[in-house]
Structure 1
Amino acid sequence: MEYRSYFVYFFGSCVISQIRCLLCARFHQPKFHCRILIGIPCCFDPYPASLRKKLWTNAGFITSYLILSYCVFGQLVNVVLLLIGHRKTNGAIEEIATQAACTGYCIIGLIKMYGLAYHRNQLASTINDCGDMWRDQFNSLTDRLNGGKFFRPTVTIMTLAAINCIVMVSAFNFIPVAEMIFNRWQTGEWHRQLPYVIWYPFDKFGGWWYYLVYVFEIYGGYVVAGSNVGIDCIFCLLCAHLSMQLKLLETALEELVEPQKDALVMSSKNIDEKLQKLIRRHQNVLSYQNTINAVFGLTFFLNLVADSVIMCAVGFLIITANYYVVIKMTLFMGVCLVEIFFVCYYGNEVMEHSLQLATAAYNCKWYQQIYGNTKFGKKLILVILRAQHPIILMAWKFWPITINTFGMVLNASWSYFTLLRTIIV
């Protein structure tokens, strides 16, 4: 399977794109990507040179971004109208909590889409470099298929995460339809409802405007799903690639000095050349740390901060809202937990694999090297010292993206939730 299969096709926006990308990866159709669904462009290619081509090739992306921007704006306007008393509702606290959760999730989606667009060229360059490294290390198709086994769990996990996100958004989009049908069966009248509480400068329930608004909000919901899961797919797959490179480097270090019957016939020159080559490989892998931090650092910092507040609001709604709201919010909670967990898990995997390089260098049977080769020993010590400082992916230089950070976010969210429940309930 080609390298692009793992680093392009699974940046999908929904379940359909994930499955179709998988089929295209199997049949080696490199030009398919999920632009046809919500406009997310192929991250393998940088921006075109001319402004006209930039706008044309990213027209879908720009349209999706503007739609999501208006959804955020309309939700914020509704919150303001509710706070100043211009709009009345029976459950003001529950609606504010719902708006806080939905608006926060939409804002995170906007930030991720902006980060994807802003760092497009840098991300494309990084993915191309990873592809060159992949092809250099796996020359034959058989080797690439064997190397691809390392990514299969990640691809499966990302696909399931996308399915989870789409199920959640679909519940938000279509539960109002089920509720309207149920109310019609109970009362004999139709009471129009919409998936989200968004302000419009016209009567959104009147005439044909209602159907257009409903389609608009459905599409906006899937844009949110695609923007959130898409950037997480990119990050997790890049982390999986880094983990694979570190694992290969670990194996190469352990096999650096091959057992020889006669230690005196070992060529110190060959050993030094092999070690220098591995050191250059290690430096290339280390260079990706700054790139990933630059592309994803600020985005994930804001994501972690927002998710702690979002999960607090969702938890409050689960214990106070009606049953159909509980269904939506339970799915929402699951999506937030899965999203944060896998981002932190793959960041933690990179850190753990980078730490194992020091042990691998020490276990390379250095004692079988020819006597008097002090250069080899000094270089090996430097490798061990550098490997003791692991690759740590950071959320805007504040939090390391590790499992401990996942626990910290859960702890903060639980603290906010207990405080809110004590004050209000």
Structure 2
Amino acid sequence: MDFEDTFAFTIKVQKAYGSRSCFEPYSGTVLMLIRSHLAFVAVVLMLFYHLFGEVCYLVKVTTNKQFETETGMVEESAGIIARSGFTLFGLIKVLVLAYDRNLLADILGKLRTNWMKQVQLNRSCRDFYERSFGSVVKITTYAAITNVAMVSLFNIVPILEMTIETIQTGNCTRILPYTIWYPFDAISGWWFYLVYIFEVVSASFVAVANSGFNSMFCLLAVHLSTQIRLLGRSLERIIRTEADAYKMPRPNLADVVRCHEELLEYKKAIGTIFGGTTFLVFAGASIVICLQGIIMTTSSGTDAIKFFLFFVSILLEIFFLCYYGDEIMQSSNEIGSAVYRSLWYEVEHGGDARFRKSLIPIIVRSQKPVVLMAWLFWPITINTFGMANFKNILVIFFAFKCDL
């Protein structure tokens, strides 16, 4: 496995919505960039109108007196808010990765350089990388495919409803997958088929955009946590002889410290790219999950199925972000233990007391784990996922008990 192989599927996902490889920084004038990314601009405009149309329809539902007398207005509004939130997440993620493309390409270039140095140094590093990435590449790939498949099923449900109605009654009431405002009658004539295709395509791009962002974050988190673990292995050999268990030359303490500082800079850059967006996702997803749970408790049939798919999709998205963010924290916690396992107490290997004392600041620094933050509010860890969704489940439970 090469470094580029770990991002192969993510690059394909980005190209699916018109973006170029994440390894390619921007170059040229703004006009040249627009011309070379026309497909990407078209996708962004499509997602923008999808979101704009949902918001306009929500305003129509909540302000029109005709809707106030109809049953199910609360459920309809909740459904629109949940769907528009999912669309908003996808649009923001696409724009963030596009805006920070040069910074992202710089991080990937430096991580690739470290990968090549470590792999060329010893075969055990290559084996360590392959063990670390063998599962995460498959998991992120399957998660992205599952996300797109769930949205695709959501798009197919209206076709099934119309087909069943036609078989049972001989008549067909036209239904669109999403409630979006259009400046024309989207149900009549050939407009219906064109609008249906537009909604299916734009919703698919939303799912692809979410998957591309999530896969990129998870892979960068695993790359960072893997290199932190390799740093721990270097610290573990800092006093041992060259005939150690890893069959690798003993590293220099100054080089290890510089490597640690570089990894902290990578963590800071990753936080710059993904921190603000993950904050919005965590904050917005809590609202969306609660709304979807309330809808599932009050709906039946195909509506319950559709929103259950949305519910699972967003829940999995947050879980993978938190799980792989937690990997960084866990790997950084192992640094202090690695120093302790370095046979620092062996006088013949450890040198003088001054050298051994220089290991103390490393142990002290390891007591403060490296944690990616969703802005400055939430650590991206598995504990955050558990606490946030525990509160969401309580909200859904009380809504069900109160028959809201």
TM over 0.5: yes
Shift of the alpha carbon at 1:293?
1.1
The 8 Å contact of residues 3 and 112 in structure 2, kept in 1 or not, is answered as yes
Paired residues of 2:292 and 2:310 also in contact (CA < 8 A) = yes
Q: Which deviates more from structure 2 when the two are superposed, residues 49-58 or residues 413-422?
A: 413-422
In structure 2, the CA distance between the partners of 1:260 and 1:331, relative to structure 1 (3 Å rule), is closer
TM-score, length-scaled by structure 2: 0.92
Partner amino acid for 2:310? F
Q: Which residue of 1 aligns with 2:6?
A: 6
Aligned CA distance change for structure 1 residues 167 and 114 (closer, same or farther; 3 Å): same
Deviations 1:22-68 (A, max 9, x none): xxxxxxxxxxxx42x22133111111222233112322221111111
1:287-366 equivalences in 2 (<5 Å): 287-366=265-344
Give the C-alpha shift of residue 358 in structure 1. 0.5
CA shift for structure 1 position 144: 7.5
CA positional deviation for 1:143: 6.4
* Alignment correspondent of 2:144: 162
Give the letter aligned to residue 56 of structure 2: V
2:79–2:291 contact (8 Å) kept in structure 1: yes
**1:249 — aligned with what?**
231
Task: Check conservation: 1:309, 1:416, Cα contact below 8 A.
Answer: no
Query: Out of 70, 85, 91, which is 2:49 matched to?
Result: 70
The answer on whether the counterparts of 2:154 and 2:309 sit within 8 Å (CA) in structure 1 is: no
- The whole-number CA distance in structure 1 between the counterparts of 2:86 and 2:395 is 17
Matched, 1:382 2:364: no
The CA deviation at 1:90 is 4.3
Cα gap change, 1:201 to 1:8, in 2 (>3 Å): same
**Alignment-derived partner of residue 19 in structure 1:** none
Structure 1: distance between partners of 2:240 and 2:51: 61
Does 2:375 align with 1:396? yes
CA distance in 1 between counterparts of 2:259 and 2:347 reads: 22
- In 2, the alpha carbon distance for the partners of 1:196 and 1:237 equals 32
1:421 Cα shift? Answer: 4.1
| CA gap 1:149/1:57 in 2 versus in 1, 3 angstroms | farther
C-alpha displacement of 1:418: 4.2
The residue aligned with 1:283 is 261
When residues 54 and 415 of structure 1 are mapped into structure 2, their CA distance, relative to the original with a 3 A threshold, is same
Kept in 2, the 8 Å contact 1:343–1:401? The answer is yes
Q: Which residue of 2 aligns with 1:18?
A: none
**How far 1:95 moved relative to its partner?**
0.8
Can you list the C-alpha shifts for 1:148-167, whole angstroms capped at 9, x where unaligned? 33111111111121122112
Which residue does 2:32 correspond to in 1?
53
Q: Name the SS for the 1:279 alignment partner.
A: helix
177, 189, 197: which is aligned to 1:195? 177
Work out which of the residue numbers 169, 174, 187 in structure 2 matches 1:205.
187
Structure-2 separation of matches of 1:140 and 1:122: 27
> Residues of 2 paired with 1:421 and 1:336: CA distance?
20
Alpha-carbon distance, 1:87 to partner: 5.5
Alpha-carbon displacement from aligned partner over 1:220-250 (angstroms, at most 9, x marks no partner): 1111101111111111001111111111111
Structure 1 223/131 Cα, relative in aligned 2: closer, same or farther at 3 Å? Answer: same
Give the gaps of 5 or more residues in structure 2: 244-248
Q: Are 1:218 and 2:197 matched, yes or no?
A: no
In structure 1, give the amino acid aligned to 2:162. Answer: M
Query: Whole-Å Cα distance in 1 between the matches of residues 43 and 66 of structure 2?
Result: 29
Q: Give the letter aligned to residue 300 of structure 1.
A: T
Q: 1:144 to 1:380 in 2, by over 3 A?
A: closer
How far residue 307 of structure 1 moved from its aligned partner, in angstroms, is: 0.8
Q: Residues 86 and 362 (structure 1 numbering): CA distance in 2 closer, same or farther, change over 3 Å?
A: same
Retained in 2: the 8 A contact 1:12–1:226? no
Q: Aligned pairs, how many? A: 395
Cα displacement (A) at 1:410: 0.6
* Alpha-carbon distance in 2 for matches of 1:308, 1:323: 24
Q: 250-259 or 66-75: which moved more?
A: 250-259
**C-alpha distance in 2, partners of 1:229/1:248?**
28
**Letter matched to residue 33 of structure 2:** K
Aligned to 1:44: 23
Once the two structures are TM-superposed, the CA of residue 255 in structure 1 deviates from its matched residue by 2.1
How far apart, CA to CA, are the structure 1 residues paired with 2:131 and 2:351?
A: 42
Aligned 8 A contact 2:224 2:267 in 1 = no
Identity %: 37
The answer to which of 335-344 and 4-13 deviates more is 4-13
Distance 2:66 2:108 in 1: 49
Structure 2 counterpart of 1:391, which letter? V
Query: 2: CA distance between counterparts of 1:260 and 1:72?
Result: 61
| Distance in 2 of aligned mates of 1:381 and 1:184 | 76
- Alpha-carbon shift at residue 113 of structure 1 (Å): 1.4
Counterpart of 2:83? 102
The separation in 2 between residues aligned to 1:112 and 1:99, in whole angstroms, is 20
| TM-score, reference length from structure 1 | 0.88
Deviation at 1:398, TM superposition (A): 0.6
Aligned-partner residue type, residue 63 of structure 2: I
Give, in angstroms, the shift of residue 336 of structure 1: 1.3
Q: Is the 8 A contact 2:162 2:173 kept in 1?
A: yes
Q: Residues 372 and 239 from structure 1, CA distance in 2 versus in 1: closer, same or farther, beyond 3 angstroms? A: closer
- Measured against aligned partners, the alpha-carbon deviations of 1:334-362 in whole angstroms (never above 9, x if no partner) come to 11111111111111111011011011011
Task: Describe how 1:225-236 pairs up with structure 2 within 5 A.
Answer: 225-236=207-218
Instruction: Indicate the larger mover: 224-233 or 81-90.
Output: 81-90
Corresponding residue SS for 1:56 = helix
CA deviation vs aligned residue, 1:75-119 (integer Å, no higher than 9, x gap): 111111111126545421211111111011111111111211221
Contact kept, 8 Å, 2:26 with 2:101, in 1: the verdict is yes
Residues 255, 4 of structure 1: alpha-carbon distance in 2 compared, 3 angstrom cutoff: same
Q: Distance in 2 between matches of 1:9 and 1:48?
A: 24
